């Protein structure tokens, strides 16, 4: 089955700086790569996703890039704010969906 590796496990940045989280996947059949944000006590919430026929996607301060050849994808958050502090998960999907282990992002005011 699919295996998704996510790095780093923790990330601390100063407010206004950028944050980058990287993931790799193993199954070349995977065609859908979402990113989820999870706040304490809540279920994961989709923040952005990218499909295999697209190389980059942006939504305001958030962007995701996909390199299908290298089987890796990244989440970029610019101008970070304290409310961006949360755990972020990447995932890869063909039929089922497998997640990375998560990155705890802390944005210091």
Partner 1 sequence: DAGITQSPRYKITETGRQVTLMCHQTWSHSYMFWYRQDLGHGLRLIYYSAAADITDKGEVPDGYVVSRSKTENFPLTLESATRSQTSVYFCASSESGGLSGNTIYFGEGSWLTVV
What is the contact surface with partner 1 in residues (CB under 8 A)?
1, 6, 31-32, 34, 36, 42-46, 49, 51-53, 89, 91, 93-102
Which CB atom, from 52 or from 78, has the smaller least distance to partner 1? Answer: 52
Which CB atom, from 20 or from 97, has the smaller least distance to partner 1? Answer: 97
State the CB neighbour count (10 A cutoff) for residue 82.
10
Could you give the 3-state DSSP secondary structure of residue 88? strand
Residue 57 CB, nearest distance to partner 1 (Å)? Answer: 13
Cβ contact 67:57 at 8 Å = no
Torsion of CA 48, 77, 19, 79, to 10 degrees: -160
Which CB atom, from 85 or from 88, has the smaller least distance to partner 1? Answer: 88
Residue 49 CB, nearest distance to partner 1 (Å)? Answer: 6
Greatest pairwise CA separation for the chain in angstroms: 41
């Amino acid at each position: 089955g699919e295996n998704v590796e996510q790095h780093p496990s923790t990330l601390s940045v100063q407010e206004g700086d950028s944050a980058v989280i990287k993931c790799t996947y193993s199954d070349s059949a995977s065609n859908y790569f979402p990113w989820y944000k999870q706040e304490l006590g809540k279920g994961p919430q989709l923040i952005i996703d990218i499909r295999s026929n697209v190389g980059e996607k942006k939504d305001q301060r958030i962007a995701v890039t996909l390199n299908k050849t290298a089987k890796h994808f990244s989440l970029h958050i610019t101008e970070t704010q304290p409310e961006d502090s949360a755990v972020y998960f990447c995932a890869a999907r063909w039929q089922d969906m497998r997640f990375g282990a998560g990155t705890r992002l802390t944005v210091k005011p």
